[in-house]
């Protein structure tokens, strides 16, 4: 085992602070990564504060990791020292069940191993995330980062990127489609970039008129202010697909009215009970509401390659590791455009 520096918390009440954690020695299928950058995801805050009731402490967040390979196990084929690589929300799965065989490791029947707050299969101990100087991950869960992209701004692609790319890709968004993105935050800003790059007429749907300008800069063709009933009425039954990134309880009925016959709204943000959905809004028009969770490893690599081709990265604000508690407050207040990324040099 190797002792390394990390930033984490001993309890849901505490701020994050510097601590020492252990990483396993490099096994034959492992890739050891020197972490360069780590994105700050809203889930990191939920986990640190035990909002979902399943946090184990000490807890070291971070699942939007970009780094440099510094060592590989004897059986590793696809990576070598010096490669720039990424690690997302998962670091292991059974690799044998139907979902794993179908490249949907996020739905592994035995449970995927989270990058943090999961159970390390090799040590039996806790997994610790990317708010740290190094991480050791089995080869199958390491991603190649396209060399033409700004490495810092790639980090958020590993969670916010794949979470929005996957449903747009799965529901086959393409040129000629009219696609709505609800909510303009870490997820929503990536949703706009992807839908636009896939060739869709991309419409930002937001409660805040002051987000219109930025939405257009990011690639939206138009903006609907969802509080404006006339505007919502004008777009009734016209959307081929809606990506709903709102991370909290809300009323989805007005968005269902925007869908065409047989069209789908996919939820990627809110994992809690929503406001009561009106059954009639699904029945009239054979409409659908679905959900989507990150994406499998194969699709995550496809997403990174797509970003390389289309020169897509996240809009980021860099911070030092020591600024993390302020960053958490600002994320909670939606005061970031659109993702904080930690420069891990600050911890070394």
> Of residues 29, 281, 322, 334, which one binds its own copies by CB under 8 A?
281
Question: Does 58 sit near its own copies (CB under 8 A)?
Answer: no
Question: Does 264 sit near its own copies (CB under 8 A)?
Answer: yes
Over 43-91, what HEC string results?
A: HHHHHHCCCCCCCCCCECCCCCEEEEEEEECCCCCCCCCCCEEEECCEE
* Closer to its own copies by Cβ: residue 232 or 282: 282
* Closer to its own copies by Cβ: residue 283 or 333: 283
Residue 159 to residues 12, 43, 90, 95, 193, Cα–Cα distance (Å): 23, 10, 10, 21, 15
* Closer to its own copies by Cβ: residue 7 or 171: 171
* Closer to its own copies by Cβ: residue 68 or 170: 170
Name the minimum Å distance from CB 30 to its own copies: 28
> Of residues 169, 292, 313, 314, which one binds its own copies by CB under 8 A?
292
Size of interface with its own copies, in residues (CB under 8 A): 33
> Of residues 1, 75, 271, 318, which one binds its own copies by CB under 8 A?
271
DSSP-based three-state secondary structure for 200: coil
DSSP 8-state class, residue 292: -
Check if the beta carbon of residue 62 is closer than 8 Å to that of residue 339.
no
* Closer to its own copies by Cβ: residue 135 or 268: 268
* Closer to its own copies by Cβ: residue 271 or 318: 271
Over 104-157, what HEC string results?
A: CHHHCCCCCEECCCCECCCCCCECCCCCECEEEEEHHHCEECCCCCCHHHHHHH
> Of residues 111, 199, 209, 280, which one binds its own copies by CB under 8 A?
280
DSSP-based three-state secondary structure for 304: helix
Check if the beta carbon of residue 266 is closer than 8 Å to that of residue 171.
yes
Question: Does 124 sit near its own copies (CB under 8 A)?
Answer: no
Question: Does 275 sit near its own copies (CB under 8 A)?
Answer: yes
DSSP 8-state class, residue 210: G
Cis peptide before 58 (omega within 30 of 0): yes
Question: Does 47 sit near its own copies (CB under 8 A)?
Answer: no
* Closer to its own copies by Cβ: residue 268 or 312: 268
Question: Does 269 sit near its own copies (CB under 8 A)?
Answer: yes
Give the list of residues 6+ apart from residue 29 with CB closer than 8 angstroms, or none.
73, 75, 76, 138, 139, 140
> Which of 245, 241, 265, 263 is closest to 177 using CA atoms?
241
Question: Does 279 sit near its own copies (CB under 8 A)?
Answer: yes
Question: Does 310 sit near its own copies (CB under 8 A)?
Answer: no
Binding mask 72-101 for its own copies (x = CB under 8 A): ---------------------------x--
77-85, 140-148, 203-211, 284-292 -> range binding its own copies (CB under 8 A): 284-292
Q: Is 255 left (phi over 0), alpha (psi -120 to 50) or beta?
A: alpha
Q: Report the C-alpha gap between 204 and 314 in whole angstroms.
A: 17
Name the minimum Å distance from CB 290 to its own copies: 4
Question: Does 287 sit near its own copies (CB under 8 A)?
Answer: yes
60-68, 71-79, 116-124, 278-286 -> range binding its own copies (CB under 8 A): 278-286
Main-chain phi, psi angles of 177, to 5 degrees: -75, 150
CB neighbourhood size of 40 (10 A)? 29
* Closer to its own copies by Cβ: residue 74 or 261: 261
16-24, 73-81, 123-131, 277-285 -> range binding its own copies (CB under 8 A): 277-285
Contacts to its own copies by CB under 8 A: 99, 104, 107, 170, 261, 264, 267-293
């Amino acid at each position: 085992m190797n002792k390394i520096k990390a930033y984490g918390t001993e309890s849901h009440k505490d701020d994050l602070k510097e601590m020492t954690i252990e990483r396993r020695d490099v096994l034959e299928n492992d890739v050891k990564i020197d972490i360069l950058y780590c994105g700050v995801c809203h889930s990191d805050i939920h986990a640190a504060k035990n909002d979902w009731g399943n946090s184990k402490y000490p807890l070291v967040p971070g699942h939007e990791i970009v780094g440099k390979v510094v060592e590989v196990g004897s059986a590793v084929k696809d990576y070598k020292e010096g490669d720039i690589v990424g690690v997302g929300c998962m670091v292991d799965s059974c690799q044998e069940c139907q979902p794993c065989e179908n490249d949907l490791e996020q739905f592994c029947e035995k449970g995927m191993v989270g990058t943090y707050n999961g159970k390390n299969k090799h040590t039996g101990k806790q997994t610790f995330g990317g708010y740290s100087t190094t991480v050791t991950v089995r080869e199958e869960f390491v991603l190649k980062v396209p060399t033409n992209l700004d490495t810092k701004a790639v980090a958020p692609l590993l969670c916010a990127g794949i979470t929005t790319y996957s449903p747009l890709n799965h529901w086959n968004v393409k040129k000629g489609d009219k696609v709505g993105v609800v909510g303009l935050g870490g997820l929503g800003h990536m949703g706009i970039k992807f839908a636009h790059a896939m060739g869709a007429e991309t419409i930002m749907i937001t409660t805040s008129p002051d987000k219109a300008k930025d939405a257009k800069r990011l690639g939206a063709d138009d903006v609907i202010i969802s509080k404006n009933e006339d505007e919502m009425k004008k777009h009734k039954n016209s959307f081929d697909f809606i990506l709903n990134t709102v991370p909290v309880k809300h009323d989805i009925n007005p968005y269902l009215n925007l869908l065409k016959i047989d069209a789908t709204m996919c939820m990627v943000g809110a994992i809690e009970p929503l406001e009561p959905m009106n059954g009639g809004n699904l029945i009239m028009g054979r409409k659908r509401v679905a959900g989507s969770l990150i994406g499998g490893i194969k699709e995550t690599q496809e997403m990174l390659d797509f970003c390389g081709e289309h020169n897509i990265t996240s809009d980021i604000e860099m911070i030092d590791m020591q600024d993390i508690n302020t960053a958490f407050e600002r994320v909670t207040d939606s005061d970031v455009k659109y993702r904080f990324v930690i420069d891990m040099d600050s911890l070394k």
